[in-house]
């Protein structure tokens, strides 16, 4: 039982790191970013490429920085012009970006699958009860908790965090108070894409790298964001953890319908509470 709960936390943690980037983007730019799965995939490949030269941890740093820079560029060139247009146009443009990212990776690394090894330091297992549990999986949980705590502290105890929270509720009024929301948005979008990169590089030793790896996890991260409440950081955390557990226990106790359970959960939550688990203004 404990092992299954831990497995749920690993998957939920991975989903959280990816989904919270989507929440940041939606909160500040009101952009539903379908390219987010592509950023996750780019993060994994960038980390893999850099790890060939600088080792796994060098790969992590490179991936996060590279994706942050890419995020700043995307904000200036794509998200900012899109923030006031019809949502359907946003969806089409960002979905197009996802395809561009996939083709880019396909051209550079090919379609063959790539397996990334767990760094030697974290490659072993640890005994929990009478079962062995991989150390790396505990690290994934730790990274997710660190991201959640760090983000929460930044949002609640820093001036920039205050501006982000204010801007995600009402950008116009926040700007009228003298906050440079455009500059703020670049930083926040860069942070969101950096988190997508981080989730990709952290997930790389668990799932095979392929150009389509982003599309396969994108739906689940959208389920997290919608279930948690669009634009809600706390909601994304709760939803990711709940969906991670639903996924795990669903496989064990309801194997025939396990793949449907996260979707059913989302539908149930939206009927019960249309604004998501954590009520927001969205």
Partner 1 sequence: MIISKRQLLSLACSVAIVAAWSVPAFSQNKDAIKVGVPTALTGPYGDLGNQVRRAVEFAVEEANTKGGVDGRKVEVQFQDTQAKADSARQQGEKLALSGYKLLVGTIASGEGLALNPMLERWDALYISTINKADALTGESCSPRSFRVNHPDYSDASAVGTWLKTQQQGKWAVMGSDTAWGRNSGASFKTTAEGMGKSVVTEGYAALGANDFAPYIQQFVSSGAEGIWVALAGRDAINFAQQAAQFGLLKKVNVAGVSFVTDNTVATLGDVSKGIWGIINYSSTLDTPENKAFVAAWGKKYPGTQPSNFEGETYVGMQVLFQAVTKAKSVKPADVAKAMSGGSFDTVFGKSELRAKDNQLVVPNYFGRVDTHEGGLRPVISLTVPKDVATPGPDAKCKM
Residues that bind partner 1 (CB under 8 A): 3-4, 7, 10-11, 102, 110-115, 118, 123, 125, 131-134, 136-137, 203, 205-208, 210-213, 215-217, 247-249, 251-252, 255, 259
Q: Name the DSSP letter for residue 76.
A: I
CB of 207 to partner 1, least distance (A): 5
User: Which of 227, 267, 230, 219 shows the shortest CA–CA distance to 243?
Assistant: 227
Alpha-carbon gap, residue 247 to 244, rounded angstroms: 5
Exposure string for 26-43, b = 16+ CB within 10 A, e = fewer: bbbbbbbbbbbbbbbbbb
CB of 4 to partner 1, least distance (A): 6
CB of 147 to partner 1, least distance (A): 19
Q: Rank residues 115 and 281 by Cβ distance to partner 1 and give the closer one.
A: 115
Q: Rank residues 57 and 249 by Cβ distance to partner 1 and give the closer one.
A: 249
Q: Rank residues 115 and 158 by Cβ distance to partner 1 and give the closer one.
A: 115
Under 8 Å between Cβ of 98 and 110: no
User: Which of 6, 10, 28, 11 shows the shortest CA–CA distance to 233?
Assistant: 28
Q: Rank residues 3 and 69 by Cβ distance to partner 1 and give the closer one.
A: 3
Residue with tokens 């950008």: 171
Q: Rank residues 234 and 261 by Cβ distance to partner 1 and give the closer one.
A: 261
CB of 88 to partner 1, least distance (A): 23
CB of 258 to partner 1, least distance (A): 8
Alpha-carbon gap, residue 128 to 192, rounded angstroms: 34
């Amino acid at each position: 039982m404990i092992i299954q709960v831990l497995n749920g936390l690993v998957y939920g943690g991975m989903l959280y790191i990816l989904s919270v980037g989507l929440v940041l983007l939606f909160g500040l730019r009101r952009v539903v970013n379908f390219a987010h799965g592509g950023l996750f995939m780019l993060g994994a490949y960038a980390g893999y490429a850099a790890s060939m030269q600088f080792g796994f941890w060098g790969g992590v740093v490179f991936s996060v920085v590279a994706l942050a820079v890419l995020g700043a560029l995307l904000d200036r060139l794509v998200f900012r012009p899109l923030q006031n247009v019809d949502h359907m146009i946003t969806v089409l443009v960002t979905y197009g970006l996802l395809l561009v990212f996939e083709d880019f990776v396909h051209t550079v690394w090919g379609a063959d699958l790539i397996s990334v090894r767990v760094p030697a330091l974290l490659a072993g297992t640890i005994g929990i009860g009478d079962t062995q549990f991989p150390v790396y999986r505990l690290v994934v949980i730790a990274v997710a908790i660190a991201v959640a705590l760090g983000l929460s502290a930044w949002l609640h105890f820093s001036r920039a965090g205050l501006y982000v929270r204010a801007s995600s509720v009402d950008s116009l009024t926040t700007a009228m108070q003298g906050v440079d929301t455009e500059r703020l948005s670049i930083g926040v979008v860069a942070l969101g894409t950096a988190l997508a990169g981080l989730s990709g590089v952290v997930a790389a030793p668990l799932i095979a790298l392929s150009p389509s790896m982003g599309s396969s996890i994108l739906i689940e991260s959208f389920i997290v964001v919608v279930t948690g409440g669009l634009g809600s950081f706390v909601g994304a955390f709760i939803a990711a953890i709940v969906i991670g557990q639903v996924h795990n226990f669903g496989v064990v106790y309801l194997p025939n319908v396990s793949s449907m359970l996260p979707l059913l959960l989302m539908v149930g939550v939206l009927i019960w509470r249309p604004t998501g688990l954590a009520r927001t203004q969205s």
